């Protein structure tokens, strides 16, 4: 949904924009091409591989870091406010396709799942060291795994005889838990849960939303593309109700206290043609909001 992202940002050629999820650089390059010589683009990505897709230009800056500290990094560049922020959340296509990263259920790979390879926590550490209650919490909360309690118990039972080191080890341990004919969806939920835990994805998103409220100029746009309900719920709450938990606060006159106004009341979803071209876009939801 590249065009929808660009339209949502309402790019001003002389404006300053931030792409917090550079990845392969497709979105960043499209934004950059719409900027004039006085425009500026800052892109973030914590994955060292992403740096290979960056380019050199006086008005382009690549920051090899997690976007959870976006305000600090921008201040180091002398930037206090920006005209637009784009976040394309989740795992990049490159990360999915790199077999040794452990993000996909399609190939046997080490249980890694780190977006930042210098991080200490891996999926292997989670499944082999977390106690049963914590495993249940991770699987149930972050993957919405229907039988999280039983799955956690099976992981603990399996690891008691041998360490779970690969994606196949984990799927074998949970084979009896996966509903018949729905194994693919089940393991995708398990992998999602572990990935979110390893990378602290929801915490990072919360910090981004809170900082974006301060960073954007009045009238500035924030465009967020999410791929599962947990991310989308946070974005929806913040844009619509002004809080991460969905609690509505009002002023003396009964007006809702919030920083953003929704540009679209309902999320934009990919067309059938786009899903056919890119099946990974099937679950994408795009929300756009404007700073008051």
Q: Residues 177, 151: contact at Cβ < 8 Å?
A: yes
Number of domains in the chain: 2
Boundaries of domain holding 258: 2-93+201-291
Q: Are residues 18 and 38 in the same domain?
A: yes
Q: What is the CATH number of the domain that holds 274?
A: 3.40.50.150
Q: Is 40 helix (H, G, I), strand (E, B) or coil?
A: strand
Q: Are residues 127 and 189 in the same domain?
A: yes
Q: Are residues 163 and 120 in the same domain?
A: yes
- Main-chain phi, psi angles of 221, to 5 degrees: -110, 145
Q: What is the pLDDT of residue 94?
A: 64
Q: What is the pLDDT of residue 289?
A: 98
Q: What is the pLDDT of residue 55?
A: 97
List C-alpha distances in Å: 172 to 108, 126, 151, 195.
11, 17, 12, 18
Q: What is the pLDDT of residue 96?
A: 65
Q: Which residues contact 31 (CB under 8 A, 6 or more apart)?
A: 6, 9, 11, 17, 19, 41, 86
Q: What is the pLDDT of residue 76?
A: 97
Mean pLDDT, consecutive 10-residue segments, the chain of 292 residues? 96 98 96 98 93 96 96 98 95 70 90 92 98 98 97 98 97 97 96 96 97 97 96 96 93 91 95 88 94 96
Q: What is the pLDDT of residue 41?
A: 98
Decide which of 199, 219, 250 is a domain's last residue: 199
Residue 81 CB neighbour total at 10 angstroms? 13
Q: Are residues 7 and 81 in the same domain?
A: yes
Q: Residues 42, 74: contact at Cβ < 8 Å?
A: yes
Decide which of 142, 167, 199 is a domain's last residue: 199
User: How far is Cα 288 from Cα 224, in angstroms, rounded to an integer?
Assistant: 7
Decide which of 199, 223, 244 is a domain's last residue: 199
């Amino acid at each position: 949904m590249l065009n929808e992202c660009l339209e949502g940002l309402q790019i001003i050629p002389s404006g300053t924009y931030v792409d917090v999820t550079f990845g392969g650089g497709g979105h960043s390059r499209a934004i950059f091409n719409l900027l004039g010589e006085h425009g500026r683009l800052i892109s973030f990505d914590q994955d060292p591989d992403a740096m290979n897709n960056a380019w050199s230009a006086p008005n382009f800056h690549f920051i090899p870091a997690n976007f959870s500290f976006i305000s600090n990094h921008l201040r180091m560049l002398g930037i206090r406010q920006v005209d637009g922020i784009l976040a394309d959340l989740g795992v990049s296509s490159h990360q999915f396709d790199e077999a040794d990263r452990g993000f996909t259920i399609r190939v046997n790979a080490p249980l890694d799942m780190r977006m930042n390879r210098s991080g200490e926590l891996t999926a292997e550490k989670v499944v082999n060291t977390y106690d049963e209650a914590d495993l249940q919490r991770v699987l149930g909360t972050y993957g919405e795994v229907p039988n999280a309690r039983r799955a956690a118990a099976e992981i603990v039972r399996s690891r008691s005889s041998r360490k779970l080191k690969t994606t196949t080890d984990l799927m074998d341990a949970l084979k009896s838990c996966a509903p018949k004919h729905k194994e693919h969806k089940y393991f995708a939920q398990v992998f999602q849960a572990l990935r979110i835990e390893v990378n602290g994805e929801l915490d990072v998103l919360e910090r981004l939303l809170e900082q974006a409220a301060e960073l954007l100029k009045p009238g500035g746009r924030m465009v967020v593309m999410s791929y599962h309900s947990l991310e989308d719920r946070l974005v929806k709450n913040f844009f619509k109700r002004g809080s991460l938990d969905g609690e509505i606060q009002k002023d003396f006159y009964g007006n809702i206290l919030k920083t953003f106004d929704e540009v679209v009341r309902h999320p934009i979803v990919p067309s059938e043609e786009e899903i056919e071209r890119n099946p990974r876009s099937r679950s994408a939801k795009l929300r756009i909001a404007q700073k008051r």
